[in-house]
Amino acid sequence: MILSPDDPIAALATPLASSALAVIRVSGPGCLQLLGKLAKGARPPAEQRRNRVSRFTICDGDEEVDEVMLAVYRAPRSYTGQDSAEITCHGSIPVIQRLLSLLTRIGFRPAGPGEFTQRAFLNGRMDLTRAEAVNEIVRARTDRARALALQRLSGAIESRIGAAREGLVELRAGLEAAIDYPEDVHDGDILDRGILDRVIALLQGLTSTYRQGRVYQEGVAVAIAGATNSGKSSLFNAMLRQDRAIVSETHGTTRDWIEGTVNLEGIPVRLFDTAGLRETRDPLEAEGIRRTQQVLAGSDLVVYLVDSTRGLDAADENLLARPVGTVVIRAWNKVDLPEARPAPPGFIAISATTGVGLPDLEAAVALSALGGAPLDSGEPLIDSVRQRDLISRALAALGRLREGRERGVAADLLAVDLADAMQALGEITGEVTTAEILDRMFASFCVGK
């Protein structure tokens, strides 16, 4: 639901955890006056100069609760477009909780999810694609993801959509002229094919970035699989740059999968070490293998390891031949050993213990995660389902439009599909507003941003 945009609100902007400092944000008309009831300093918060950080004491009656730093921002030049402040307090959980409850007591309402950004949108400080980008920046787990979200915050998507909309406006003008001035426009000229194709290509370019955008934001799950003792746990540790998994010469050491997180070229990768696949009578190991199958099924990518000193055996061939539904990267491990045989075609030669070939493997994982296409650096990535769905809706309408044009469908009918496409694009940037859009948009936001 949409919350009242002018109540004073407060929320913790940093995680509720013990740390050196914590930041509480407040916003709303009159919030600075309200803060004066708690914050005692050289002068009241409401008279504080803007964009200046000053020391205050938070008092509950006569009791001094905490020494804080207060940054004051005034409407309209603040994040939300309203008077706001950031209180930097000591990061102890009892202090944070005490401050939050004091704020509530003097009239602040705990902010709902995304409410600060919602206010920024309502006050015209940003369009919807930028508001979504803010959310992504907060949630970004790698620098690359953060950089991409920042690019969106600068309005890169808005400008792409704007260009597409401009093309559609031009088409609409031509179509309407054909309808309202039939004598002046020839039948062949009612819809410019060149412009239509250009807009479709532009939007298709944006949708194809969706998957990549998602990959940077959400990351991928990569499982390391292979026969027992093919070096899966060694590779796992090597990729994680830490000794997480137990490594031994004994076949079947890893009985259950373990998970670690690593940043591969900006992509957050959840890496799974799994139990080696082999026939076994040991019920514990059999259970491990069953779990391995589950992990494999849930992974986006599988790195399949083969011990180069033993070569491909029937079991490997069997497993690799079976379609698994996920992308499989083949690695030829232990190439540092003298008994290593040469890598067959399609295998990446590595040594998990010496690190030979590891960069190649990691690059291959990153490339596959992005769908095999390297990232085109210029294109902004869309990564919200909402944007993707709306672009798909626009593309579907434009597809019908192009098809109708070829069939010689009348101008007034073509206009229906054109209107559909324009509506969808307008909803992306928020030029076309519905209450439903706002509700859906802001429901997924972090509190405090």
138 touching other proteins, by CB under 8 A: no
Q: Which residue is associated with the tokens 């991409």?
A: 148
Using CB under 8 A as the binding rule, the residues of this chain from 151 to 210 that contact other proteins are 176, 178-180, 182-183, 187
Task: Return the residue of 56, 79, 108, 121 that touches other proteins, per CB under 8 A.
Answer: 121
Q: What is the 3-state secondary structure (H, E, C) of 39-50?
A: EECCCCHHHCCC
Residue 9 or 306 having the CB closest to other proteins: 9
| Cα torsion through 161, 432, 402, 393, rounded to 10 | 90
Quickly count: other Cβ atoms within 10 Å of residue 343's Cβ: 18
Residue 122 or 137 having the CB closest to other proteins: 122
Rounded to whole angstroms, the Cα distance separating 210 from 390 reads: 12
| Cα torsion through 397, 401, 402, 404, rounded to 10 | 130
Using CB under 8 A as the binding rule, the residues of this chain from 328 to 387 that contact other proteins are none
Give ∠ CA 164-168-170 in degrees, rounded to 5: 120
CA distances from 293 to 6, 115, 257 (A): 53, 43, 10
265 touching other proteins, by CB under 8 A: no
CA atoms 175, 177, 178, 184: torsion sign: negative
412 touching other proteins, by CB under 8 A: yes
- Cβ at position 15, least distance to other proteins in Å: 29
432 touching other proteins, by CB under 8 A: yes
- Cβ at position 379, least distance to other proteins in Å: 26
Using CB under 8 A as the binding rule, the residues of this chain from 392 to 411 that contact other proteins are 407-411
Rounded to whole angstroms, the Cα distance separating 221 from 286 reads: 23
Task: Return the residue of 42, 62, 124, 249 that touches other proteins, per CB under 8 A.
Answer: 124
Q: Per-residue x/- marks for other proteins, 218-257, CB under 8 A?
A: ----------------------------------------
Task: Return the residue of 18, 242, 248, 434 that touches other proteins, per CB under 8 A.
Answer: 434
Quickly count: other Cβ atoms within 10 Å of residue 386's Cβ: 17
Residue 82 or 228 having the CB closest to other proteins: 82
- Region of 87-95, 107-115, 137-145, 426-434 interacting with other proteins (CB under 8 A): 426-434
The residue type found at 2 is I
Strands 301-307 vs 220-226: parallel, antiparallel or unpaired:
parallel
- Cβ at position 110, least distance to other proteins in Å: 18
Q: Are 24 and 96 in contact (CB under 8 A)?
A: yes
- Region of 201-209, 339-347, 379-387, 434-442 interacting with other proteins (CB under 8 A): 434-442
Q: Note the Cα 197 to chain centre separation in Å.
A: 29
Using CB under 8 A as the binding rule, the residues of this chain from 59 to 88 that contact other proteins are 81-82
- Short-list 377, 371, 332, CA closest to 144: 377
- Cβ at position 403, least distance to other proteins in Å: 11
How many residues bind other proteins (CB under 8 A)? The answer is: 39
- Region of 12-20, 252-260, 292-300, 431-439 interacting with other proteins (CB under 8 A): 431-439
Residue 177 or 364 having the CB closest to other proteins: 177
2 touching other proteins, by CB under 8 A: yes
Task: Return the residue of 34, 85, 87, 415 that touches other proteins, per CB under 8 A.
Answer: 415
DSSP 263: E
Residue 114 or 430 having the CB closest to other proteins: 430
Rounded to whole angstroms, the Cα distance separating 139 from 136 reads: 5
Task: Return the residue of 16, 21, 413, 443 that touches other proteins, per CB under 8 A.
Answer: 413
CA atoms in the 13 A half-sphere facing the CB of 408: 3
DSSP 227: B
Give ∠ CA 431-433-437 in degrees, rounded to 5: 120
Quickly count: other Cβ atoms within 10 Å of residue 333's Cβ: 29
Q: Per-residue x/- marks for other proteins, 9-48, CB under 8 A?
A: --------------------x-------------------
Residue 322 or 407 having the CB closest to other proteins: 407
Q: Would you state the structure tokens that stand for residue 101, as one six-digit string?
A: 């409850």
Residue 129 or 212 having the CB closest to other proteins: 129
Asked if the bond preceding 76 is cis, omega within 30° of 0, the reply is yes
Give ∠ CA 391-405-176 in degrees, rounded to 5: 85
- Cβ at position 118, least distance to other proteins in Å: 9
Residue 216 or 442 having the CB closest to other proteins: 442
Residue 241 or 407 having the CB closest to other proteins: 407
Binding residues (CB under 8 A) for other proteins: these are 2-6, 29, 81-82, 121-124, 176, 178-180, 182-183, 187, 407-413, 415-417, 419-420, 423, 430-435, 438
